[in-house]
Structure 1
């Protein structure tokens, strides 16, 4: 079961970083390269506890649908989304936010189980884990870019 841990320091307050991290709209911006669209559930705004979103995106040459749900939530320090339906056997993505001098430490813990048994494990070691890690890093860079500028106001102040 692969586990990806990424820590990103962001020079912004925790509430802004937390809200950007749960913004469906910012997620769309951070995944433009995969043509990701929210097609069901919460399709815009800030996702809340017990809400779900279904994404349609092109990954590794194939269009896929994935539904995830916010299964745990403690504003503004933690939330967790877990796959309900999708290409993985399962995944759990924990988002942890800590106050640091001059900003926020955002920590992602992403644990997943690939489908297809031994073939899935081979895919993990050959390319999938790195692919997922790169997606999370790119997403975090967009969160950082918006949080450290006035761009965040375009995302979390709109109705």
Structure 2
């Protein structure tokens, strides 16, 4: 199993970061290089507890289809985006934002995601 962890300092309050992290449009723009797009579920706006979305993208030269659900929703500091589609890699991404303690509105956000490669997640290159 591979574990990815990304930690970023962001000059914004935790609530703003939380809201943007759950916005479909923010994710689509951030993943433009892989052509990631929504093919099912919530198609726009900010996701909330219980919402699902299915993405299709090209990663590592292969087309992937991934469905996830927001399984934990605790604003403004924490949510979990859990992959539920059987054809995608197993795992959940836990995102936590916390105030940095500075006078300026800023926070540190951390995303942790354990995954294993499941070849059935790969779609034919087309």
TM-score interval, normalised by the smaller of the two chains: 0.7 to 0.9
| Residue 25 (structure 2) aligns with | 25
SS of the residue corresponding to residue 18 of structure 2 reads helix
Matches within 5 A, 1:6-155: 6-85=6-85, 86-88=87-89, 90-100=90-100, 101=102, 102=104, 103-115=106-118
Structure 1 spans left out of the alignment, 5+ residues: 117-159
**SS of equivalent residue, structure 2 residue 48:** coil
Deviations 1:71-104 (A, max 9, x none): 111011100011111431x011000010111311
Structure having the larger proportion of residues in strand: 2
Ranges of 4+ aligned residues in structure 1 off by more than 4 Å: none
Separation in 2, partners of 1:23, 1:73: 13
Say what the alpha-carbon RMSD is for the aligned residues: 1.2
Question: TM-score w.r.t. structure 2 length?
Answer: 0.86
- Between structures 1 and 2, the one with greater helix share: 1
CA deviations 1:19-50 (Å, max 9, x no partner) are 11011011010111111111110011001001
Report the TM-score, using the length of structure 1 for normalisation: 0.69
* Structure 1: distance between partners of 2:4 and 2:57: 21
Unaligned runs of 5+ in 2: 120-126
